């Protein structure tokens, strides 16, 4: 949840370099920020509460000198949001400086022992315990002292450590919290996530759990906690630095909404051959194994969970495979029954969500095959899965997930078609028709943006409301949930999503002239007419109705207050188009309310705590 960055061998102005890099991680947390460097054999630290720019105004990071340093942006877990609790933290003599992401579970016991030994603490954090523990074990070798300290701590950590006595070494360590090493030329880096160092290097080493690395400006050595050296692979990543910039958009979220046509194209590309979906190379399971899957269980959180609900609809409707969707956070605590014939699908944009990772491990323990749908190569979920289908969305920085969601839906659709082909649940003509319609999506999405001004006008009318209801049926129910989540996350308006027909069982009591109700109602052969009745029910009670409808549906216009049209496509695929106006509506409402859209309060992009 916090963001960490570090460099050894810096050639530029160190303070500016670290400031620039932590800004690229601000989506991970923004309660407070800090930078530490070593200059003239002294640890220097500047830190304070607030967003990075506010902190920088107070402390002027640019003045920090040296060629080794660490930066941190915090999402508070242990200890209040205060200057003292901001990272970096130091030992008693201020010779060791550390930044941390994660939670040290036995910090209270360790702190007690250290206080008894005479250590003086300045903060309420678990992190400071690590600094003192390293100090306590220090005997002239920072790597040895860190290894000894790590053996005593329980919990999750991604750590960056520097020392005034050994200013040529940057120590990095990880357990259950993401940390990567960037390999540069006469300079090396660590970071919580790739965007922080993309402008410096595309060569990445992924640290695994309970590994510790010693970085100097021209060398990187990785060890296990027994001191054995581990050979690590260097991976070349295919994201470029521009992909992690705003490129003229006012917010990352708006940029990412607009990137969806391209992201969809890249997610489809290479996966359709001769009018068939071809995932053979990516799915390293035999056709026999795939045909024999008895049940699919999908685990995910938040927006990815909404994608999972849409996936359930696809797998059951088209591939005829019984599917269950679980909140990853609930999965392992309710004693799930998983068998070897089950395929467990974990969906995660970041690949680091602790709840999803824990659910995946539980299913693995019970013998299920694990397939993940993930946007970040080298992430924990990616590495712990048997099979990975990547969403080629590019880096998603905005805390509110947008392009990750639509690309997840596309991957689920491709997987559904592939399984349908293998299991022969659809004939060739139907498959070809579905593929042709899938291919139309990116262009159709471009057309959705023609309505952006209209959506902005709607936002200007309704931005002051306190509540909103989002309703949809079938595959559009998860779209309604996603629309509601987007609105509440970034505008702080209370919003709920429901299956449209469920409204009459309770939420209808909320309808009055102050309540905007957003219906996701593209024309389909299944539920469209029933949804029209639900719309009438809202209108009869004075509610305001905004509807996402299919182009050419003139009838619906007559009974609602506002219509946003989306191009016509097949029922399931139209849901991918329908979510985009909802993303834009949430965005423009939040903008009109003056909200900090890319850094909504209390949220973090990567939730690495359970
Ligand atoms: O990285 P993941 O897809 O695993 O993240 C899951 C949720 O934390 C995430 O979707 C969250 O709900 C977003 N803020 C939604 O916009």
Q: Are residues 468 and 579 in the same domain?
A: yes
Q: Are residues 272 and 405 in the same domain?
A: yes
Q: Is residue 20 part of a domain?
A: yes
Q: Is residue 468 part of a domain?
A: yes
CATH number at residue 549: 3.40.50.10490
Range of the domain at 40: 3-244
Q: Would you state the pLDDT for residue 127? A: 95
Q: Which atom of ligand 1 is nearest to the CA of 300?
A: 4
Of 244, 266, 296, the domain-final residue: 244
Q: Which residue has the higher pLDDT, 555 or 484?
A: 484
Q: Are residues 240 and 330 in the same domain?
A: no
Of 448, 464, 487, the domain-final residue: 448
- Tell me the best of 376, 607, 608, 609 to mutate to test the pocket of ligand 1, counting ligand atoms within 8 Å of each CB and taking the most: 607
Q: Would you state the pLDDT for residue 247? A: 79
Residue 244 confidence (pLDDT) above 90: no
Q: Would you state the pLDDT for residue 504? A: 87
User: Separation of 302 CA from ligand 1 center, angstroms?
Assistant: 5
Q: Is residue 607 part of a domain?
A: no
Q: Is 605 a catalytic residue?
A: yes
Q: Would you state the pLDDT for residue 176? A: 84
Q: Is 600 in the pocket of ligand 1 (CB under 6 A)?
A: no
Structure confidence at residue 310 as a pLDDT band (50, 70, 90): very high
Q: Would you state the pLDDT for residue 315? A: 97
Q: Are residues 233 and 284 in the same domain?
A: no
User: Separation of 356 CA from ligand 1 center, angstroms?
Assistant: 10
Segment 459-470, tens digit of pLDDT: 999 999 999 999
Structure confidence at residue 452 as a pLDDT band (50, 70, 90): very high
Question: Is the torsion defined by CA of 253, 259, 263, 266 positive or negative?
Answer: negative
**Dihedrals phi, psi of 219, to nearest 5 degrees:** -155, 150
Residue 609 confidence (pLDDT) above 80: no
Segment 193-240, tens digit of pLDDT: 898 999 999 999 999 999 999 999 999 999 999 999 999 999 998 877
Q: Is 489 in the pocket of ligand 1 (CB under 6 A)?
A: yes
User: Separation of 363 CA from ligand 1 center, angstroms?
Assistant: 21
DSSP H or E segment with residue 564? strand 562-566
> How many domains are contained in the chain?
3
Residue 241 confidence (pLDDT) above 90: no
Q: Is residue 296 part of a domain?
A: yes
Report percent pLDDT > 70 for the chain: 100
Strand order in the sheet with 219-224: 89-90, 96-101, 157-163, 170-175, 211-216, 219-224, 229-230
Q: Would you state the pLDDT for residue 408? A: 98
CA–CA distance from 36 to each of 7, 15, 95, 147, 549 (Å)? 11, 9, 11, 21, 54
Q: Are residues 22 and 144 in the same domain?
A: yes
Q: Is 348 in the pocket of ligand 1 (CB under 6 A)?
A: yes
Q: Are residues 70 and 111 in the same domain?
A: yes
Is the distance from CB of 540 to CB of 533 less than 8 angstroms? no
Q: Is residue 166 part of a domain?
A: yes
Q: Would you state the pLDDT for residue 378? A: 84
Per 3-state DSSP, the chain is made up of helix, strand and coil in percentages (nearest 5) of: 40, 25, 35
Q: Are residues 295 and 350 in the same domain?
A: yes
Residue 610 confidence (pLDDT) above 90: no
- Give one DSSP letter per residue of 41-85, joined into a string: TEEEEEEEES-HHHHHHHH-GGG--SSEEEEEEE--SSS-SSTTT
Q: Is residue 597 part of a domain?
A: no
Q: Would you state the pLDDT for residue 542? A: 92
Q: Which candidate, 327, 385, 386, 374, places its Cα nearest to that of 350? A: 374
Q: Are residues 93 and 173 in the same domain?
A: yes
CA–chain centroid gap for 151, Å, is: 30
Q: Are residues 200 and 349 in the same domain?
A: no
Residue 84 confidence (pLDDT) above 90: yes
Is the distance from CB of 204 to CB of 235 less than 8 angstroms? yes
Q: Are residues 339 and 391 in the same domain?
A: yes
Q: Is residue 568 part of a domain?
A: yes
Q: Is residue 602 part of a domain?
A: no
Q: Are residues 462 and 437 in the same domain?
A: no
Q: Is 11 a catalytic residue?
A: no
User: Separation of 398 CA from ligand 1 center, angstroms?
Assistant: 11
User: Separation of 100 CA from ligand 1 center, angstroms?
Assistant: 22
Of 212, 244, 276, the domain-final residue: 244
Residue 373 confidence (pLDDT) above 90: yes
Structure confidence at residue 583 as a pLDDT band (50, 70, 90): very high
Q: Would you state the pLDDT for residue 306? A: 98
Weakest mean pLDDT among 429-433, 560-564, 605-609: 605-609
**542: how many CB neighbours lie within 10 A of its CB?**
11
Compute the distance between CA of residue 77 and CA of residue 126 in angstroms, rounded to an integer: 9
- Give one DSSP letter per residue of 248-302, joined into a string: T-SSHHHHHHHTHHHHHHHHHTTSEETTEE--TTT--S-HHHHHT--EEEEEE-H
Compute the distance between CA of residue 146 and CA of residue 174 in angstroms, rounded to an integer: 12
Weakest mean pLDDT among 175-184, 242-251, 355-364, 406-415: 242-251
Compute the distance between CA of residue 259 and CA of residue 262 in angstroms, rounded to an integer: 6
Is the distance from CB of 34 to CB of 204 less than 8 angstroms? no
Active-site option among 169, 403, 488, 605: 605
Segment 387-399, tens digit of pLDDT: 999 998 988 999 9
**Dihedrals phi, psi of 327, to nearest 5 degrees:** -65, 125
Q: Are residues 395 and 501 in the same domain?
A: no
CATH number at residue 33: 3.60.20.10
Q: Which residue has the higher pLDDT, 341 or 137?
A: 137
Q: Average pLDDT, whole number, for the chain?
A: 94
Residue 520 confidence (pLDDT) above 80: yes
Active-site option among 2, 10, 301, 374: 2
Q: Would you state the pLDDT for residue 445? A: 96
Mean of the pLDDT values across residues 550-554?
95
């Amino acid at each position: 949840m916090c963001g960490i960055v570090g460099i050894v061998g810096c050639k530029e102005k160190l303070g500016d370099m670290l400031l620039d890099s932590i800004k690229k991680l601000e989506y991970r947390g923004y309660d407070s920020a800090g930078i530490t460097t070593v200059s003239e054999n002294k640890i220097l630290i500047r830190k304070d509460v607030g967003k990075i720019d506010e902190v920088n105004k107070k402390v002027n990071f640019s003045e920090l000198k040296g060629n080794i340093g660490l930066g941190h942006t915090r999402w508070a877990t242990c200890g209040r949001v205060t200057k003292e609790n901001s990272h970096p933290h130091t030992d008693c003599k201020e010779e060791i400086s550390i930044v941390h992401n994660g939670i040290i579970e036995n910090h209270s016991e360790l702190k007690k022992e250290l206080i008894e030994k005479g250590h003086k603490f300045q903060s309420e954090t678990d992190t400071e315990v690590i600094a003192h523990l390293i100090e306590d074990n220090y005997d002239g070798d920072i790597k040895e002292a860190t290894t000894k300290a790590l053996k005593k701590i329980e919990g999750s950590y991604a750590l960056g450590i520097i020392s005034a006595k050994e200013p040529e070494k940057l120590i990095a360590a990880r357990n259950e919290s993401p940390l990567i090493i960037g390999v540069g030329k006469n300079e090396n880096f660590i970071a919580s996530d790739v965007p922080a160092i993309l402008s410096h290097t595309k060569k990445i080493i992924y640290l695994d759990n309970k590994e510790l690395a010693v970085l100097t400006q021209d060398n990187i050595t990785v060890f296990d906690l027994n001191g054995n050296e581990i050979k690590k692979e260097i991976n070349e990543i295919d994201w470029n630095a521009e992909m992690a910039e705003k490129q003229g958009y006012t917010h990352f979220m708006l940029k990412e909404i607009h990137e969806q046509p391209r992201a969809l194209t890249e997610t489809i590309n290479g996966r359709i051959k001769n009018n068939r979906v071809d995932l053979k190379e990516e799915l390293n399971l035999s056709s026999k194994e795939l045909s024999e899957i008895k049940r699919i269980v999908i685990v995910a959180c938040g927006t990815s969970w909404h994608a999972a609900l849409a996936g359930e609809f696809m797998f059951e409707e088209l591939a005829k495979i019984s599917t269950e969707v679980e909140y990853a956070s609930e999965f392992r605590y309710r004693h799930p029954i998983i068998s070897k014939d089950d395929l467990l699908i974990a969906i995660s944009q970041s690949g680091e969500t602790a709840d999803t990772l824990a659910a995946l491990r539980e299913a693995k323990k019970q013998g299920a095959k694990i397939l993940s749908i993930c946007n970040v190569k080298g992430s924990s979920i990616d590495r712990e899965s048997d099979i990975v289908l990547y969403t080629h969305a590019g880096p998603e920085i905005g805390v509110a997930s947008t392009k990750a969601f639509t690309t997840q839906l596309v991957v689920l659709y491709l997987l559904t078609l592939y399984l349908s082909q293998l299991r022969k649940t659809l004939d060739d003509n139907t498959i070809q028709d579905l593929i042709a319609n899938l291919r139309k999506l990116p262009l159709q999405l471009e057309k959705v943006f023609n309505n952006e001004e209209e959506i902005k006008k709607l936002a200007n009318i309704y931005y002051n409301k306190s509540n909103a209801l989002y309703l949809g049926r079938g595959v559009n129910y998860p779209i309604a949930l996603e629309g509601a989540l987007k609105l509440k996350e970034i505008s702080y308006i209370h919003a709920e999503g429901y299956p449209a027909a469920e409204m009459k069982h309770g939420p209808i009591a909320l309808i009055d002239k102050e309540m905007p109700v957003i219906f996701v109602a593209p024309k389909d052969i299944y539920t469209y007419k029933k949804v029209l009745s639900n719309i009438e029910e809202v209108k009869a009670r004075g509610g305001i109705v905004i509807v996402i409808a299919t182009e050419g549906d003139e009838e619906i216009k007559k009974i609602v207050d506002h219509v946003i049209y989306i191009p016509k496509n097949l029922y399931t695929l139209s849901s991918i188009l329908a979510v985009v106006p909802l993303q834009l509506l949430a965005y423009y409402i939040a903008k009109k309310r003056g909200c900090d859209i890319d850094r909504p309060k209390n949220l973090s992009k990567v939730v690495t705590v359970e």
